[in-house]
Chains A and B, each alone.
Chain A
Amino acid sequence: MIDSVFQAIGLGHAATLLALSPPGWGGALLYGLWNSLQIALGAFGVGLVIGLAGASGKLYGGPVTRDLLAVYTTVVRAVPELVLILILYYAGTDALNKLLVSLGYARVEISGLMAGIGVLGVVQGAYATEVLRGAILAVPAGQIEAARAYGMPPVMVMRRVTLPLMLSNAIPGMANLWLIATKDTALLAIVGFAELTLRTQQAAGTTKAYFTFYLAAGVLYLMVTLVSERLFALLEARARRGQPSLKEGAA
């Protein structure tokens, strides 16, 4: 009876369909997952860099910088990622090449990977700016004042005092951003980049075993999420070592 239920929902041949080497699609899905993770890592990294710059700009920059950054974060956080991806993917590469050509350089071929990382990185950067800004603001003011009283230059204050203290506050927000990055890579399927969701769509379309492949992809994404959450929990515990314990939900 279980067999017929599995047959009915298309999972009957799951073992053969998901085999690691062709004609099983398991290997293709794993390769797609690897691509997704690469893009997510790249985008997360780019987002971190933009976020640090943005947070510093919003906190310590002049009025013009603050306003421009406010426009950037508001627009990126209000417009759907799909629309942003389309605009940046086609318009961005087009504009970049036009700029290079007008400056006298040759057109540069931007691979799908780079474009995906760039686009998602810009989106992540806006969220990271807000997370890091909140984390820096949560650093006790007394610590920074004491460091300044010692005569430390601003970069040294940032490096030795602010960043280490901000880390433990930033990690939950950054963990969230990492998970958003891994799931946003699925949107790149709509621009045809060969990551996990697109490979799943191709596999499902070719073999007609829709349930099997979408469930398999769901399991893969879920595993990435669970492993990431575990890793970030360990990271946060390490960053919070020595601080008074903060039990969540305490009234």
Chain B
Amino acid sequence: MKKTLMMTAAALMMVGGAAMAETVKVGVAAEAYPPFASPDASGKFYGWEVDFINAVCAAAAMDCEIVPVAWDGIIPSLTSGQIDTIMASMSITEDRMKTIDFSNKYYNTPTVIVGLKGVDMTATPEGLAGKIIGVQVSTIHQDYVQKYFEAGAAEVKTYQTQDEANQDLVAGRIDATQADSIALDAFLATDAGKACCEVKGAVANDTSILGLGVGAGVRKGDDALKAKINDGIAKILADGTYEKFTAQYFASSIYGD
């Protein structure tokens, strides 16, 4: 009986594999990252980035399936073939370009430091000396903090998700966190965020670490998919679809320059 079960399982795996050959698997982070992509109670993802994915796939005539993957392992998932592209607010950086390719950018927003009200700090190495800083693991923010602030800071704590870092900020375990300004705006709009914290300033730009905006990741050499995605992005920028769904979330365009 067990043997039959195993054979059936193996057969299903093969069939499943064949059937899914046409769909493009789009990897998003399994953890919530409002307002870009968060799961709701039924497991469906919603947010600006989900609208973006649907729009690009429609414009490029691709059949896309959203696959949540742990943020920490999203690049290995791409390189090992479990997903075909990453559209999870991943910034285009030189370091990442050593392992994967990126499409053209599809948004670019400044990076800010949000800290506890009543604690004196600025978004500079001197202003953050002696503070406890929290960042999400495997992000440009972790790289930036490690390069500029770690030497002077009391401690740098790394979290699986930005949400956990925000939680510890509310709890007072960390003094500040660095992340994308829009994601932190969404946090500051919540009751807990409003009560505890405020924006302390934008960090000095460093494109080698903070990157050139957010792009869709593809495997090295997967030029066909990269071209399709770039086509899709160009189309939705040109025909106004991008502005339309962006307006539902933000007051102005987040495409950046």
Direct contact of A and B (CB under 8 A): yes
Asked whether, in the complex, the Cβ of B42 is within 8 Å of the Cβ of A27, the reply is yes
B68: nearest residue on chain A (CB-CB)?
A: A192
Q: Is the interface of A mostly helix, strand, loop or mixed?
A: helix
Asked whether, in the complex, the Cβ of B73 is within 8 Å of the Cβ of A191, the reply is yes
Q: Which of A68-76, A102-110, A122-130, A147-155 contacts B (4 or more CB under 8 A)?
A: A102-110
The verdict on A194 contacting chain B, using a C-beta distance below 8 Å, is yes
Which chain A residues lie closer than 8 Å to B42 at the CB level? 22, 27-28
The total of chain B residues at the interface (CB under 8 A) is 39
Q: In the complex where A49-B6, A192-B30, A194-B30 touch, is A109 in contact with B20 (Cβ < 8 A)?
A: yes
A-B contact count (CB 8 A): 96
Asked whether, in the complex, the Cβ of B41 is within 8 Å of the Cβ of A22, the reply is yes
User: Which of these, A28, A115, A190, contacts B70 with CB under 8 Å?
Assistant: A190
6 contacts between A and B (CB under 8 A): A22-B41, A45-B5, A110-B17, A112-B82, A190-B72, A194-B68
Asked whether, in the complex, the Cβ of B30 is within 8 Å of the Cβ of A198, the reply is yes
Asked whether, in the complex, the Cβ of A110 is within 8 Å of the Cβ of B82, the reply is yes
Which chain B residues lie closer than 8 Å to A27 at the CB level? 41-42
Chain A 203-226 interface mask (CB, 8 Å, partner B; 1/0): 101101010000000000000000
Additional A-B contacts beyond A86-B73, A192-B69, A199-B43 (18; CB < 8 A)? A22-B42, A31-B43, A49-B2, A90-B80, A93-B80, A93-B82, A94-B79, A94-B80, A109-B16, A109-B20, A109-B81, A194-B30, A198-B30, A201-B31, A202-B31, A206-B40, A208-B167, A208-B192
The verdict on A97 contacting chain B, using a C-beta distance below 8 Å, is yes
The verdict on B164 contacting chain A, using a C-beta distance below 8 Å, is yes
User: Which of these, B5, B17, B30, B82, contacts A202 with CB under 8 Å?
Assistant: B30
A24: nearest residue on chain B (CB-CB)?
A: B41
B161: nearest residue on chain A (CB-CB)?
A: A205
Chain B 1-36 interface mask (CB, 8 Å, partner A; 1/0): 010011001000110110011000100001110000
The verdict on B76 contacting chain A, using a C-beta distance below 8 Å, is yes
The verdict on A178 contacting chain B, using a C-beta distance below 8 Å, is no
B74: nearest residue on chain A (CB-CB)?
A: A192
Bound Cα distance from A100 to B31, whole angstroms? 32
B76: nearest residue on chain A (CB-CB)?
A: A90
Within 8 A of B (CB), among A221-246: none
The verdict on B136 contacting chain A, using a C-beta distance below 8 Å, is no
